Structure 1
Amino acid sequence: MKVLSISSQVVWGPVGNSAAVPALQAKGYEVLALPTITLSNHPGHGAPAGFRTQAEDMARMFAALEALGALHNLDAMLTGYFATTGQVEEVAGLLGRVAIPFLLVDPVMGDHGRLYIPQEVAEAIRAHLVPRASCLTPNAFELAWLSGHDVTDEESAIAAARALALPEVLATSVPSRDGLATLLVTPDAVHRIVVPKLAKVPNGTGDFLSGLYLAERLGHAPQQAFAAAMKTLSRAIALSTGITVLNVAGALHGS
């Protein structure tokens, strides 16, 4: 299988493509990884150095890949962090030209009650990508922002997910009586896994889960993919206790 993954790329500390791509490659998929931004590290570890992929450069890369036939017969696309509205528009244009059987949109926009990307970029994601998604993987804040519904518990998260009218919504960090819930909401079912809320979890868990879920989903039904992805994510978190970066490699290799 062949997957196009468009998100951030960091040198140290797996987030964005650095977290999602290994999850896909571990299943033997061919992954075409295109960075929207390249950084030395996640901003949570300190001020990064790096550069954005300009929209016109992204357009030229798409054109070159299309001319080579590299984007023929894609099985899926994953989108994550975007730095500019132009990037979102270029991806939307590509979706209009290239057949994508499964589109997973990870709406990397914000958390803890606020957007951390410019509002116009978030609005572009909502307008151009979310309606096309086969699966959306928001955290609780992103789910609320995209749906226009408050998300304060599992019940409200399910209502917000259903309001988006998408085939699959995988909502993370949803407040629950017993900790934090991860919910897979489809039109006819809800699957939930609840874990205790931990004091500190390394960055990148959402990006890793998106890659894990897509890797499993391409060969399995939603419920099976959800269970398998969450099992690997839990292993990564357990292996990362006391360190500042997510242990993606250890989780994927079962060590």
Structure 2
Amino acid sequence: MTTPPAHDPSPAPTVLSIQSHVTVGAVGNSAAVFALQRMGVETWALPTVVLSNDNARPHVAGPSLSPAELRSIVDAMAGNDVLGRVDALLSGYLTGDTGPVILETAARLREESPALMYCCDPVMGDADKGFYVPPEVRRFFCEQAVKACDVLTPNLFELGALTGSRPVTLGEIVDAARSLVGRGPATVLVTSVACRDLPGDRMHMVAVRARRTLLVSTPLLDAVFDGSGDLTTAVFLANLLRGRDLAEALGRTAGSVHAVLSATARLGRQEPALVAAQDLLVNAPAARTWEV
């Protein structure tokens, strides 16, 4: 009897994800880590805060990690000689004094791996809530993170905050995103797009590079979700790390996130039903994309 050859899978990319952790819910790392891992990406989670849940609930408690504590964890990783294994840095929700640690960590990772991808989700607020981070976090994203990252994933409200504008048409959204590309990131993904000249019964995302702009649309769901932006960024990053071009990465991201949120809505939940809908992260049909 012939023994079949052993399966030797290609090495999985590795992400260091620095953002919030919640015990109950699916925001920050509590959404990103599972999604990335289910999509075949090794993920190391470093929390900026450890909370009972997100701020949408009436009670929330938990500590923040200080810059010194975050640095000590990264120092230990360096001492264990594992920083060179990181292919991408993902940052999301930050506290007022942890922004510099993100930039320091990105620099240390790039010393080990010059091709490191830094994906920044500039978590600042949303149209229906306004800002929910202090001014120093907003300044960090606007003045420093934009120049340091390779991929930037603002929602429409955050795009306006980053550019000092209030874009209300697709052309204005593209112009604002392209102005950010001119300041640093190679790719800007604008999530949760709603504007005057796009259908209001669909949810849109726009991906912008220096010489390319793509639009994707999925049916609008009659529900409100917590953590959908964190999930979108993680899924988009996973697709990029798997070597997919911009159009395929955008289409797969929109298809997967829409499928997961549709399943979430059917279950009557507000937090993405990642465990129940996990196969949709990898098997959902890609949404169609258009050149703009």
Between the aligned partners of 2:227 and 2:101, the Cα distance in structure 1 is 25
| Letter of the structure 2 residue corresponding to residue 105 of structure 1 | C
Q: CA deviation at 1:199?
A: 3.8
| Alignment equivalent of 2:187, drawn from 163, 168, 173 | 168
Q: Is the 8 A contact 1:233 1:251 kept in 2?
A: no
* Bigger Rg over Cα: 2
State yes or no: 1:117 paired with 2:138. Answer: no
Q: What is the match of residue 238 of structure 1?
A: 262
- SS in structure 1 at match of 2:188: strand
| Alignment equivalent of 2:107, drawn from 96, 105, 109 | 96
Between the aligned partners of 1:199 and 1:239, the Cα distance in structure 2 is 12
Q: What is the match of residue 24 of structure 2?
A: 12
Q: Is the 8 A contact 1:5 1:32 kept in 2?
A: yes
Q: CA deviation at 1:224?
A: 0.9
Q: Is the 8 A contact 2:151 2:186 kept in 1?
A: yes
Between the aligned partners of 2:155 and 2:237, the Cα distance in structure 1 is 16
- SS in structure 2 at match of 1:41: coil
Q: Is the 8 A contact 2:93 2:122 kept in 1?
A: yes
Q: CA deviation at 1:126?
A: 2.3
User: Which digits, 9 at most, give the CA deviation of each residue in 1:33-61, with x for residues without a partner?
Assistant: 00001111111122211111111111111
Structure 1 unaligned regions, length at least 5: none
User: Within 5 Å, which residues of 2 pair with 1:125-140?
Assistant: 125-140=141-156
| Letter of the structure 2 residue corresponding to residue 168 of structure 1 | T
Q: Is the 8 A contact 2:125 2:132 kept in 1?
A: yes
Q: What is the match of residue 62 of structure 1?
A: 74
Q: CA deviation at 1:90?
A: 1.1
> Structure 2-normalised TM-score?
0.83
| Letter of the structure 1 residue corresponding to residue 258 of structure 2 | S
User: Which digits, 9 at most, give the CA deviation of each residue in 1:69-115, with x for residues without a partner?
Assistant: 1211311111000012x211111112222215211100000112722
Moved more, 130-139 or 242-251: 242-251
- SS in structure 1 at match of 2:277: helix
Q: What is the match of residue 228 of structure 1?
A: 252
Q: CA deviation at 1:189?
A: 1.6
Change beyond 3 A, Cα 1:230–1:195: closer
| Alignment equivalent of 2:210, drawn from 176, 187, 194 | 187
Between the aligned partners of 1:227 and 1:105, the Cα distance in structure 2 is 20
| Alignment equivalent of 1:210, drawn from 233, 236, 251 | 233
Between the aligned partners of 2:249 and 2:221, the Cα distance in structure 1 is 24
Moved more, 147-156 or 4-13: 147-156
| Letter of the structure 1 residue corresponding to residue 120 of structure 2 | V
- SS in structure 1 at match of 2:56: helix
- State the Cα RMSD in Å: 1.6
Between the aligned partners of 1:184 and 1:250, the Cα distance in structure 2 is 29
> Structure 1-normalised TM-score?
0.94
Q: Is the 8 A contact 1:232 1:252 kept in 2?
A: no
Q: CA deviation at 1:190?
A: 1.5
Q: CA deviation at 1:234?
A: 0.6
- SS in structure 2 at match of 1:66: helix
Q: Is the 8 A contact 1:141 1:151 kept in 2?
A: no
Between the aligned partners of 1:250 and 1:223, the Cα distance in structure 2 is 27
The structure with more strand, counted as a fraction of residues: 1
Between the aligned partners of 1:160 and 1:146, the Cα distance in structure 2 is 9
Q: Is the 8 A contact 2:32 2:231 kept in 1?
A: yes
Moved more, 189-198 or 237-246: 189-198
Q: CA deviation at 1:196?
A: 4.4
| Letter of the structure 2 residue corresponding to residue 68 of structure 1 | N
Q: Is the 8 A contact 1:105 1:136 kept in 2?
A: yes
| Alignment equivalent of 2:47, drawn from 24, 35, 38 | 35
Between the aligned partners of 1:235 and 1:190, the Cα distance in structure 2 is 24
User: Which digits, 9 at most, give the CA deviation of each residue in 1:128-181, with x for residues without a partner?
Assistant: 222121110000010011012222132211110001123111101221331232
Between the aligned partners of 2:279 and 2:149, the Cα distance in structure 1 is 30
